[in-house]
Amino acid sequence: MGKHSLQRESRLPNSVKGALVFGAVAATTGAMPAIPAMAATVDIPGVGNFDVPLGDQQVNEVNQALAAHADQIKQVQQALAPQAMAPGQAAPGLPNFAPPMFQQQTAGDVALDAAKSKLGAEYVWGATGPDAFDCSGLVQWAYKQAGIKLPRTSFEMEHVGRPIALSQLAPGDIIVTSNGGHVVMYAGDGKIVQAPTSGETVSFAHLNTDDVVTARRVAA
């Protein structure tokens, strides 16, 4: 920031205001110096340089103002001390800009999003996409979009990844049902996305836990 020139007001010189700011800022570093009588420029860290008049009367007013606000400056110093603020807490009077939290997508998240993009696609036995699918063809195609190659049939998919308890299911997990003859993807909230059977389309359904053979989690 450039150099600023302070203009004198009718009641209190701007040099006093500048010095007050200087005192408050200096307080955060533990120093509250008086303005020397011959000071020409006041450098306020993070704000800029301010020209202070050289008149003894004005300098006296500055020093008196600093002394009058010593308690307030001390309070600012204490409030801004690192140990006085909890992690992530903003300084008093300042907005709290907490860093945004970003959650990295898993392979299951990517695969599930791919499968959901095919809602309404026709079921065709033996089809592997991108316009029609059978049950394992949908799961295989969806995980391919996540960069993972899965075997072709639901019976083979019984052994991919690692087993997951039904209570630990997460979106994108693979669930083999119907004695190994059908495979679906968990969509969260007790629902699945699947290519069901001939005459139907890729759609959501409720998970029948009594029909589950195994649930598997596939990692990239």
Q: Which of 58, 77, 140, 194 is catalytic?
A: 194
Number of H helices, E strands in the chain: 6, 11
Asked about 206 being catalytic, the answer comes back as: no
Cβ burial 24-63 (10 Å sphere, 16+ → b, else e):
bbbbbeeebeebeeebeebebeeeeebbbbeeeebbebbb
- Per the CB < 8 A criterion, the answer to whether 60 and 80 are in contact is no
Distance CA 215, CA 183 (A): 10
Structure tokens at 199: 């005459």
Q: Which of 69, 77, 135, 140 is catalytic?
A: 135
Distance CA 3, CA 43 (A): 9
Asked about 75 being catalytic, the answer comes back as: no
- The string of DSSP letters for 68-137 reads HTHHHHHHHHHHHSGGGS-TTPPPTTS---PPPP-PPPPHHHHHHHHHHTTTTPEE-TT-BSSSEE-HHH
Asked about 182 being catalytic, the answer comes back as: yes
State the burial class of residue 185 (Cβ atoms within 10 Å of its Cβ: 0-12, 13-18, 19+). Answer: buried
- Per the CB < 8 A criterion, the answer to whether 201 and 118 are in contact is no
Q: Which residues are catalytic?
A: 135, 182, 194
